[in-house]
Every structure is written in structure tokens, then in C-alpha cells.
Amino acid sequence: MENIQKKYIIAIDGPCATGKSCIAKLLAKKLSIIYVDTGAMYRVCAYYFITNNIKINEENAKKYMKEIDIKLNYTDGKIIIHLNNQDVTDDIRTPEISMGASDISKIPYVRERLVDMQRKMGEDISVIMDGRDIGSVVFPNADIKVYLDGDIKTRTLRRKKDLEKMGCTLSLEEIEKDMKKRDSQDMNRDHSPLIKVEDAILIDTTYMSVEEVVEHIMVIIKDKGIIKD
């Protein structure tokens, strides 16, 4: 078991289906620190708007965001996501909600509210967060910044496997089209776009397993002197 030297923050950014969530969760378990799935927070907001037939725009965000209460709980090593006391853990993982999350994340008011929540989560304890702007906006002074990337074909196959587990049978062509659209939206939005900041360590996950990426990041953490064996 690693000996933690101080409170620290690990930021993991990158496009969809690069393994961010799985990698962050495994790292959190290894390090015995809190994992915060920031992408899920945007998905929850999108889910609320979509299921209530509310158009996603700045005006409605200012009107309805106050009605959204998000809680992230951990049960038997699994993150459980609640929206207004309703378990929406699986409901927020559909392609429609994914695109909605990309749409709603472009709204500055939404980002400001969620970023404030995310920063408060890292004030007093060590955390690992994954998302699109963790190292660039949420925690620009994070102790470790990692940017995960991968070939679009490989990411599409990963996404298809995840969707099939939920009973969704979209074709590879449809999934790749949606992913390219989301990548473009995330990278080209005006507010907090997805970028690799200069001091982030780039890891191409195309030919790496989740476990291999985790071990690689563990080496980086130890080299930084944050923890000792």
C-alpha cells in the first residue's frame, strides 16, 4: 500500500472513450483517494433537460439549474449517481445524453456552477478527477496532469462495447459519427474547450489496456515524489 505524503490532486483529461473513467476509478482505489466523475455531472444536467423536454440553452440553464441536485455516492467500489434522489447511474450513459452533455457543457453558466462544485470537492482532501477541462480550468495547479488520447477507430470500438452492455445496438458508423461530432464540439467550444495543457503528460491509450495505463500513471506519481511504496 502506498504511503501518501500530502493532500494532492490528479487531473485526467481527454476525449471520450479513452478510458478516463475506468483508469481514474482504478487509480483512486489504488491510492485510497476520492474519485470524482465530472463528466457524469454534465450528463446528469443534460438528462434533466432532455427528460423534461427543456431546450438546452443559456436562458433555460439559468432558470432550471437550481432545480438540479447532484449527489455522487460510492457503494461496493461503484459510483452511484443521483439526480434529485433518483438513481440515474445507467440512464445517463446513452448516446443521446452524451451529445446532450456536450451541448450543455458549452453553456458558461452551467460550467461555472459545476466547476465551483468540483473545486470545493478538492479543497480539503486528495482527489482524482477526470473530464475535459480539469487540468486547464478546474485545477490548473493540479499535482499531476494527464491527457489521454487514442485512435478514433479504437475509441469507437470501446464505445460500442460499452453501449452493447446497456442493450444499445448502434452501428460502428453511427457511433464514430457521434464521437467525431462530440470531439469537435468539445475542442471548439468558446468556454473551457478540451485541450492538452503544456504541463500535461500525454498517454496514447490506443494499444494499452486500462491496467497498463494505470501502472504507467502510478510510475509518474511515484517519480513526482507524491507517494512512496
Domain boundaries, the chain: 8-206
- Which architecture, in CATH terms, is 8-206? 3-Layer(aba) Sandwich (3.40)
Q: What is the mean pLDDT of residues 189-193?
A: 88
Give the separation between CA 41 and CA 130, rounded to whole angstroms. Answer: 11
The side-by-side arrangement of strands in the sheet containing 9-13 is 34-37, 127-131, 9-13, 144-149, 201-204
In the numeric block, the cell 480539503 is attached to 124
Give the separation between CA 74 and CA 84, rounded to whole angstroms. Answer: 17
**pTM value surpassing 0.75:** yes
State how far the alpha carbon of 36 is from the alpha carbons of 21, 179, 192, in Å. Answer: 9, 23, 18
The torsion angles phi and psi of 177, rounded to 5 degrees, stand at: -60, -45
Give the separation between CA 94 and CA 163, rounded to whole angstroms. Answer: 7
Give the separation between CA 91 and CA 44, rounded to whole angstroms. Answer: 9
The amino acid sitting at 149 is D
Give the separation between CA 77 and CA 67, rounded to whole angstroms. Answer: 28
What is the CB neighbour count within 10 angstroms for residue 83?
20
**Residue 3 pLDDT exceeds 70:** no
217 and 19 in contact (C-beta within 8 Å)?
no
pLDDT digits (tens, 9 = 90+) for 94-122: 989 999 999 999 999 999 999 998 998 88
pLDDT digits (tens, 9 = 90+) for 30-89: 998 889 888 899 999 999 999 999 999 999 999 999 999 998 887 766 788 999 999 999
